Amino acid sequence: MAVKIIERTEKVDKNVVAALKEEVKVLMQISHPNIIKLFDFFEEPQNFFMVIELMEGGELFDRIVSKSFYSEKEARDLVSILLNALECVSSPCVH
């Protein structure tokens, strides 16, 4: 497990906080191998804490932009994984 700490400053917009809480609500209900597992969420006056599944390997965005070429198969496989994860968010994987 890992703990993601999000600093809560005076400048944090109420819409940002609402979006974070909505994300937490959704993640707490999802079980899917390609979506990070959120185990718990805590709020304090200065910070938000998300207890999440430990993910090693770096940022996905960095991995995508560092690759200079994607084969058709790699692109197809990636899109398939993404669509499967999106389907999970909208239906049966939510519990």
Q: What is the pLDDT of residues 10-49, one digit of tens each?
A: 777 888 889 999 999 988 988 888 888 999 999 998 999 9
| Rounded to 5°, angle at Cα 61 from 58 and 65 | 110
Using DSSP's 3-state secondary structure scheme, residue 76 falls into helix
Where are the chain's structural domains?
A: 2-90
Structure tokens at 58: 């770096």
Q: Please say whether the beta carbons of 7 and 45 come within 8 A.
A: no
The arrangement of strands across the sheet holding 38-43 comes to: 2-7, 47-52, 38-43
Say whether 26 sits in a helix, a strand or coil.
helix
CATH class of 2-90: alpha beta
Q: Is the pLDDT of residue 2 over 90?
A: yes
pLDDT band at residue 94 under the 50/70/90 scheme: low
Q: Cα(51)–Cα(49) distance, rounded to whole angstroms?
A: 6
